[in-house]
């Protein structure tokens, strides 16, 4: 019997009279009571009805010692039953918090109850095994791992993750990161504190370079294309470059072309086209145009970058422009005046001025080619279309002026592109 149960039983027994003890109200040993008669053998007790029953009743009563033992036996039986239930609910479990184990005795029925009993708080990133609501059994092992923030830069990309691993190597394995051949900025055995850790990882990748007509494939964990070029033994000279920026991160399976570039500069003088400004003029007949100022093209000096990429000439790239001469606009006057319906209506024009400009005012004048003649330098085909015969330079001056007026009614001043403006004064 356990000692604390025995003690509890002794406390109860202290209030009972031990077997063979004499009550304080009894007479001294060996003395007979004052009213007792001398012993004369068993005496028959006769009840009021006259039947002798005293001996029979005396035989049915338990001995005094047995009467004293009965209460103790009942108490012991009760305590023994309670102890069995107490022992059955008591469990020895092992609680490991972040790798530090300790053995506990508990009456908790579930993991949650045990954690509350031990005042172990858990956050959303913490893990417990078995689960919160799992029932506890004797000998159970409960493992608690606190979450730790990890600032992880993986292959050039930044991530913020949580892990319950306590070391860098454990965290990378937990996150499924390939570490074979990888660059890791800290020791794999480095401890991750509850406050977290910053780690840079570059996994091993396959990169292919196309350079100088050859293909080269390497395995690398470097941070830039430039470093991978050095690892592959490929150099860049002058204007050489790559198909992706040299300071970018090389990706797994990426193919990068090396561009061999040669370049030079060339300066050219180029004309600048002039614009034509058209001005409406009510003094000119409709359909008549008069150039009052000829256009003058401008000039600029342009410097170009000439390049060849892997032997192929590229489109020149303009580097700079210098203005040498500004262009001057051409000015053309457009007639809006109603055209006369007959040659008589053209009489108000300055035909003398036109003749002086075209032929110097000589009716028999002929140009150097012999194709145009007369006051108004008409060709033979036009002269005949106007009803003339022979050649214009052989006709009288008045006839030449009359037929020139007819031509003006048909076509305006356009037959005289240089001197036609003289008609308008």
DSSP 8-state class, residue 62: P
Return the axis-axis angle of helices 351-359 and 397-411, rounded to nearest 10°: 100
Is there a shared CATH topology between the 91-145 domain and the 205-259 domain? yes
User: Which fold would CATH assign to domain 264-332?
Assistant: Resuscitation-promoting factor rpfb fold (2.20.230)
Mean pLDDT of 113-123: 90
- Where are the domains positioned within the chain? 91-145, 148-202, 205-259, 264-332, 339-424
Confidence label for 233 from pLDDT (cuts 50, 70 and 90): very high
- What pLDDT score was predicted for residue 19? 37
Confidence label for 421 from pLDDT (cuts 50, 70 and 90): confident
For 249-302, how does the pLDDT look when each residue is reduced to its tens digit (9 = 90+)? 999 999 999 999 998 999 999 999 999 999 998 877 677 777 889 999 999 999
Instruction: Give the residue from 227, 219, 216, 233 showing the smallest Cα distance to 249.
Output: 227
Mean pLDDT of the chain: 81
Task: Quote the CA–CA distance of 168 and 151 in Å, as a whole number.
Answer: 11
Instruction: Give the residue from 310, 314, 312 showing the smallest Cα distance to 214.
Output: 310
Structure tokens at 250: 């090389």
With beta carbons less than 8 A apart as the criterion, state whether 298 and 350 touch.
Answer: no
Query: Across-strand partners of 353?
Result: none
With beta carbons less than 8 A apart as the criterion, state whether 411 and 389 touch.
Answer: no
Share of the chain above pLDDT 70, in %: 78
Residue 43 has pLDDT above 90, yes or no: no
Task: Quote the CA–CA distance of 410 and 302 in Å, as a whole number.
Answer: 48
Task: Quote the CA–CA distance of 196 and 152 in Å, as a whole number.
Answer: 10
- What pLDDT score was predicted for residue 70? 55
- What pLDDT score was predicted for residue 185? 95
Residue 5 has pLDDT above 70, yes or no: no
Q: Domain 339-424: give its CATH architecture.
A: Orthogonal Bundle (1.10)
Q: Averaging pLDDT over each range in 43-57, 60-74, 381-395, which range is the top one?
A: 381-395
Task: Name the phi and psi angles at 67, rounded to 5.
Answer: -65, -35
- What pLDDT score was predicted for residue 46? 40
Instruction: Give the residue from 189, 206, 194 showing the smallest Cα distance to 164.
Output: 194
- What pLDDT score was predicted for residue 251? 95
Region of poorest pLDDT, from 79-83, 130-134, 227-231, 388-392: 79-83
Confidence label for 343 from pLDDT (cuts 50, 70 and 90): confident
What's the CATH number of domain 91-145, 2.102.10.10, 2.40.50.140, 3.10.20.30, 1.10.10.60?
3.10.20.30
Confidence label for 35 from pLDDT (cuts 50, 70 and 90): very low
The owner of tokens 């055209």 is 339
Share of the chain above pLDDT 90, in %: 61
Confidence label for 61 from pLDDT (cuts 50, 70 and 90): low
Mean pLDDT of 146-150: 95
Residue 91 has pLDDT above 70, yes or no: yes
Confidence label for 64 from pLDDT (cuts 50, 70 and 90): low
Please tell me the CATH code under which domain 205-259 is placed: 3.10.20.90
What's the CATH number of domain 148-202, 3.10.20.30, 3.20.20.140, 3.30.460.10, 2.60.40.420?
3.10.20.30
Q: What's the burial of 24, exposed, middle or buried (CB within 10 Å: 0-12/13-18/19+)?
A: exposed
Confidence label for 72 from pLDDT (cuts 50, 70 and 90): low
- What pLDDT score was predicted for residue 170? 94
DSSP-assigned letters across all residues of 244-305? S-TTSPPPTTEEEEEE-EEEEEEEEEEEEPPPEEEEEEEEEETT-EEEEE--B-EEEEEEEE
For 17-28, how does the pLDDT look when each residue is reduced to its tens digit (9 = 90+)? 333 333 333 333
Residue 73 has pLDDT above 80, yes or no: no
Sequence-ordered list of residues with C-beta below 8 angstroms from that of 412, at least 6 positions apart, any chain: 285, 286, 287, 288, 289, 335, 339, 420
With beta carbons less than 8 A apart as the criterion, state whether 299 and 324 touch.
Answer: yes
Residue 377 has pLDDT above 80, yes or no: yes
How many helices (H) and strands (E) the chain has is answered by 9, 21
Q: Three-state DSSP class for 319?
A: strand
For 204-215, how does the pLDDT look when each residue is reduced to its tens digit (9 = 90+)? 999 999 999 999
């Amino acid at each position: 019997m356990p000692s604390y149960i025995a003690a509890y039983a002794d406390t109860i027994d202290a209030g009972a009279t031990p077997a063979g003890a004499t009550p304080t109200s009894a007479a001294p040993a060996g003395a007979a009571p004052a009213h007792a008669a001398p012993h004369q053998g068993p005496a028959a007790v006769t009840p009021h009805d006259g039947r002798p029953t005293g001996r029979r009743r005396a035989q049915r009563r338990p001995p005094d010692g047995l009467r004293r033992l009965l209460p103790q036996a009942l108490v012991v039986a009760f305590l023994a039953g309670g102890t069995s239930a107490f022992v059955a609910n008591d469990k020895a479990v092992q609680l490991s918090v972040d790798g530090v184990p300790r053995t506990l005795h508990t009456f908790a029925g579930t993991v949650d109850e045990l954690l509350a009993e031990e005042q172990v708080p858990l956050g959303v990133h913490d893990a417990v095994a078995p689960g919160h609501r799992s029932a506890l059994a004797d000998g159970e092992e409960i493992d608690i791992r606190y979450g730790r923030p990890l600032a992880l830069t993986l292959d050039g990309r930044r991530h913020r993750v949580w892990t319950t691993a306590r070391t860098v190597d454990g965290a990378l394995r937990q996150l499924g990161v390939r570490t074979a051949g990888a660059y890791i900025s800290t020791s794999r055995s480095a401890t991750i504190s509850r406050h977290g850790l910053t780690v840079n990882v570059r996994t091993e990748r396959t990169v292919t370079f196309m350079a100088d007509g050859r293909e080269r494939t390497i395995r690398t964990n470097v941070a830039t294309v430039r470093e991978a070029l050095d690892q592959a033994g490929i150099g860049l000279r002058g204007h050489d470059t790559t198909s992706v920026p040299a300071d970018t991160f090389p990706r797994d399976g990426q193919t990068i072309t090396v561009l061999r570039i040669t370049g030079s500069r060339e300066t050219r003088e180029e004309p600048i086209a002039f614009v034509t400004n058209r001005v409406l003029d009510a003094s000119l007949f409709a359909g008549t145009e008069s150039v009052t100022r000829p256009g003058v093209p401008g000039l600029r000096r342009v410097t170009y970058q000439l390049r060849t990429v892997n032997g192929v000439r590229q489109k020149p790239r303009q580097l700079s422009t210098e203005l040498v001469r500004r262009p001057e606009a051409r000015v053309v006057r457009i007639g809006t005046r109603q055209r006369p319906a007959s040659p008589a209506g053209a009489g108000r024009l300055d035909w003398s001025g036109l003749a002086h400009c075209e032929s110097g005012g000589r009716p028999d004048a002929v140009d150097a080619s012999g194709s145009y003649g007369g006051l108004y330098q008409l060709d033979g085909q036009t002269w005949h279309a106007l009803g003339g015969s022979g050649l214009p330079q052989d006709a009288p001056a008045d006839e030449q002026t009359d037929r020139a007026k007819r031509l003006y009614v048909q076509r305006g001043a356009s037959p005289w592109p240089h001197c036609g403006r003289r008609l308008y004064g």
